[in-house]
Amino acid sequence: MLRSAKARVAGHLNYYAITDNATSCNNFVYRATHILYKRLNRKSQRKACNWDRFNQALKGIGWPCVLILNDLNPFRSAEAC
């Protein structure tokens, strides 16, 4: 389940991580992480894992973080000076 969620989040970020869209991408990753945590703990009456263990599992699989891959305005930093 973690690997397929990682692939979906990485694909979303590869497509949408462009200039001026970092806030929306951060929001997507935040919500996807929380939904995945809820789904993992829904399997039984008691919690399957806590946040510390869940974050260790995400680090183990290499959970994607938001990086702006396509800068649509490469001259913006030169204009700010």
Classify the C-alpha dihedral 33-8-13-62 as positive or negative. Answer: positive
- Rounded Cα–Cα distance for residues 9 and 65 (Å): 9
Q: What local confidence, expressed as pLDDT, does residue 79 receive?
A: 54
- Rounded Cα–Cα distance for residues 46 and 15 (Å): 37
CA-closest candidate to residue 4, choices 41, 40, 30 = 40
Q: What local confidence, expressed as pLDDT, does residue 32 receive?
A: 96
- What is the C-alpha R_g of the chain? 16
CA-closest candidate to residue 10, choices 74, 57, 61 = 61
pTM greater than 0.75: yes
Q: What local confidence, expressed as pLDDT, does residue 81 receive?
A: 45
At 5, is the pLDDT very low, low, confident or very high (cuts 50, 70, 90)?
Answer: very high
Q: What local confidence, expressed as pLDDT, does residue 77 receive?
A: 59
Taking only the tens place, the pLDDT of each residue in 7-34 is 999 999 988 888 888 889 999 999 999 9
